[in-house]
Chain A
Amino acid sequence: MFDELSDLYQQVILDHSKSPRNFRPLEQPSRTAQGHNPLCGDNITLYVRLEGDVISDITFQGSGCAISRASASLLTESLKGRRLAEVKPLFDRIHEMVTTGQVGDGDLGKLAVFAGVHKFPARVKCAILPWHAALAAVEGKGAPVSTETVNP
């Protein structure tokens, strides 16, 4: 009876929300960033280890809804091994995808499962929160980010 929900809660998303990957703190991280949506209670901390400008390890901790957990989990899988300069262009594509449903050119891999989120305007902020935190980590910003007070 839940076929209608597959746009939002794809199997990959359910899997990552139940068993999030890289869900642990990192000792002596090069960067950390916090994403916090106090109204819904989503709260994640990203830990990043850099070797030069390459993200050699990235993990997260926190609590939240299925969408924000799965998004954070898939984010860590996707960013591991990437160069810092790749994060902003990827952020822009994810942002475009979750707000419009457009996936754009080039394969987004598993991240494409979030394309359905755009049909659920109230949940866009959940999916994009970890990405705002990643951007803050890359830019070395210390203050927690939120996607509740601004347009996600």
Chain B
Amino acid sequence: MPSFDQIRSDFPILDQQVNGRPLIYFDNAATSQKPLAVIEALDAYYRRDNANVHRGIHELSNRATQAYEGARARAARFLNARAPEEIVWTRGTTEAINLVANTWGMANLKPGDRILLTEMEHHSNLVPWQMLAQHTGAKLAFLPVTGDEGLLDVGQLDELLTPAVKLFAFTHVSNTLGTVNPVAELCQRARAVGAVTLVDAAQSAGHLTVDVQALGCDFLVFSGHKICGPTGIGVLYGRCELLETMPPWQGGGDMISSVDYYESRWNTVPHKFEAGTPDIAGAIGLHAAMDYLDRLGRDRIFAHDQELARLAYEELSRLKGIRLFGPKTGRGGLVSFLLEDVHAHDIVTVADQFGLALRGGHHCNQPLMKKLGVVSTARASFYFYNTTAEVTRFIELMREIQKFFGV
């Protein structure tokens, strides 16, 4: 098993100067960098095997189909799904959630039903449900977040999880707060009232072991690009029993078994949800990414991310006038903060001049920002290729920034 300081060279992009300083990439919650194994898998596919999938009789189409469906089986193993048929390819987390809202949601929700979300959801796990509520007459409800510490107020579930709740959708790890939510417990509670669960694993799938059977969720979604894979590919896991009963979403080639002028029959699961030529290369690249992560070990990755976040949180908390968001302990690999009298965008602009890539803004969490009474935060998000030396440098820069702005 390779150690984390040996794997830096697997990521050619990390070896560069930005504005005259060595790049420190701390924007991993937005997207991760790609190892050579993934870049080479895409290259090899386009050089040797590129063809359209399914129904091709020729050799290249066979190879492309095998690689594409092989990636699906790999994704099923990655999540410990019971069968490859439980994996639907999407463009990413956002499309996967929209798919569930437009198929399962449109078929199952009616006026008076409730959709339970949490106050910490990314816009992608909020807006599709608002649209669904508008279409169906269902109502939204929110499990509160406990202020700056950023934990879910699970005590309020008794009141909120009524039999009217048909769906409970929530994030595994918050992209703004770093909170790791008790997914198995939340799923169990939802099941007790007959609600279907959807877990947004965008910030967790590449960082810790995600086992859909152990978690007991009905749907789980993530994006390939945040877990070392290419952009444009993502996964919807759905329990087979649910996928079977759901109507298709987009119509077109591949999602049908037979077509007449006036009507068609749908293909079997999961193909009935995959209209048109899919992102074949993306699935193949994601396959390589999943292999890569599992060689490193997701438990080790999580321990490393958490250690960097702990160190960053501890060091930042020593700064004068700092406001930190999210739980003090047990957080995922990111820290979100504000420096008194320095706007987040000024922090990020200055950091960038020193090769440090941070993110400043609302992190697609506008309602949460309003609740916390801020317009934006600065965020540093880590991955296994980041080092404690980089965190130390980051803290040093934050001190300098405070001096520069006269705090």
A binding-site residues for B, Cβ under 8 Å = 1-2, 4-5, 8-9, 14, 18, 38-41, 63-67, 120, 122-123, 126
CB neighbours of A40 from chain B (8 A): 343, 345, 361, 375-376
B172 within 8 A of A: no
B257 within 8 A of A: no
Q: Flag the segment in B101-109, B160-168, B181-189, B346-354 that touches A.
A: B346-354
Is B404 an interface residue, CB under 8 A from the partner? yes
- For residue A49, give the distance in angstroms from its CB to the closest CB of chain B: 29
Interface positions, chain B 331-383, Cβ under 8 Å from A, are 342-343, 345-346, 349-350, 353-354, 361-362, 375-376
Residues of A within 8 A of B405 (CB): 14, 18, 66
Contact assessment for B361 and A39 in the assembled complex, using a CB-CB cutoff below 8 Å = yes
- Evaluate contact between B362 and A64: CB separation under 8 angstroms: no
A14, B406: Cβ atoms closer than 8 Å: yes
Say yes or no: is B245 at the interface (Cβ < 8 Å to chain A): no
Establish whether residues B376 and A5, one from each chain, have CB atoms under 8 Å apart when the complex forms: no
CA distance A14 to B345 in the complex (A): 15
Known A-B contacts: A39-B362, A65-B345, A122-B345. Give 5 more (CB < 8 A).
Answer: A4-B20, A18-B405, A38-B375, A63-B375, A66-B346
Inside 8 A of A63's CB, which chain B residues have their CB?
A: 375
- B406 and A5: CB pair below 8 A? no
Which residue from B20, B349, B376, B404 sits with its C-beta under 8 Å from A123? B349
CB distance from B316 to the nearest CB of A (A): 20
Contact call B406/A41, Cβ cutoff below 8 A: no
A5 touches B350 (CB 8 A): yes
B19 within 8 A of A: yes
Chain B interface size band reads 10 to 19
List residues of B whose CB falls within 8 A of some A CB. 19-20, 342-343, 345-346, 349-350, 353-354, 361-362, 375-376, 400, 404-406
Known: A4-B19, A122-B349. A41 touches B404 (CB 8 A): no
- For A8, A41, A120, the residue with the greatest tally of chain B CB atoms inside 10 Å of its CB is A41
Q: Which residue of A lies closest to B347 (CB)?
A: A65
State whether B343 touches A1 (Cβ < 8 A). Answer: no
Determine whether the beta carbon of A66 is less than 8 Å from that of B343: yes
Complex interface: chain B residues within 8 A of A2 (CB):
350, 400, 404
Give the distance in Å from the alpha carbon of A108 to the alpha carbon of B400 in the complex.
Answer: 32
How many angstroms from the CA of A18 to the CA of B353 in the assembled complex? Answer: 21
A8 with B376: CB separation less than 8 A: no
Shortest Cβ gap from B342 to chain A (Å) = 8
Given the contacts A39-B362, A66-B405, A4 and B345 also touching, CB distance less than 8 Å = no
A67 and B350: CB pair below 8 A? no
Q: Which 9 pairs across A and B sit closest by C-beta, in order of nearness?
A: A41-B375, A65-B343, A65-B345, A66-B346, A65-B346, A4-B353, A2-B404, A41-B376, A40-B345
Pick the contact of A9 from B354, B361, B362, B404 — CB < 8 Å?
A: B404
A1 to B397, CA, bound (A): 10
A1 CA to B403 CA, complexed, in Å: 11
Q: Given the complex, which residues of A lie within 8 Å of B400, measured CB to CB?
A: 1-2
> What are some 13 contacts across the A-B interface (CB < 8 A)?
A2-B400, A14-B405, A40-B343, A40-B375, A41-B343, A63-B375, A64-B343, A66-B343, A66-B346, A66-B405, A120-B349, A122-B345, A126-B345
Residue contact A67 to B361, C-beta cutoff 8 Å: no
Measured CA separation A38–B29 after assembly (Å): 22
Cα–Cα, bound, A120→B375 (Å): 21
Give the Cβ gap from B294 to chain A, nearest Cβ, in Å: 37
Inter-chain contact A8/B345, CB cutoff 8 Å = no
User: Are A67 and B346 closer than 8 Å at their CB atoms?
Assistant: yes
How many angstroms between the C-alpha atoms of A63 and B338 in the bound complex?
15
Query: Is A18's CB under 8 angstroms from B406's CB?
Result: yes
Taking CB atoms, residues of chain A closer than 8 Å to B343 are 40-41, 64-66
A4 to B350, CA, bound (A): 9
Report the minimal beta-carbon distance from B364 to chain A, rounded to whole angstroms.
10
Tell me the nearest residue of chain B to A126, going by C-beta. B345
Q: With a CB–CB cut-off of 8 A, which chain B residues contact A120?
A: 349
What chain B residues lie within 8 Å of A1 (beta carbons)?
A: 400
Docked pose: A1 CA to B376 CA in angstroms: 27
Interface centre among B19, B342, B349, B354 (most CB of A within 10 A): B349
Closest to B376 in A: A41
Nearest CB in chain B: distance from A42 CB, A? 8
Inter-chain CA distance A13–B284, complex, in Å, is 50
Which residue on B lies nearest to A15, using beta carbons? B406
CB distance from A17 to the nearest CB of B (A): 8
B163–chain A nearest beta-carbon distance, Å: 38
Set of chain A residues within 8 Å of B350, measured between Cβ atoms: 2, 5, 9
Residues of A within 8 A of B404 (CB): 2, 5, 9, 14
Q: Which residue of A lies closest to B404 (CB)?
A: A2
The CA-CA distance from A66 to B349 in the complex, in Å, is 11
Query: For the complex, what is the distance from the CA of A9 to the CA of B349, rounded to whole Å?
Result: 10
Most buried by A among B343, B353, B406: B343
- Contacting residues, chain B, for A38 (C-beta < 8 A): 375
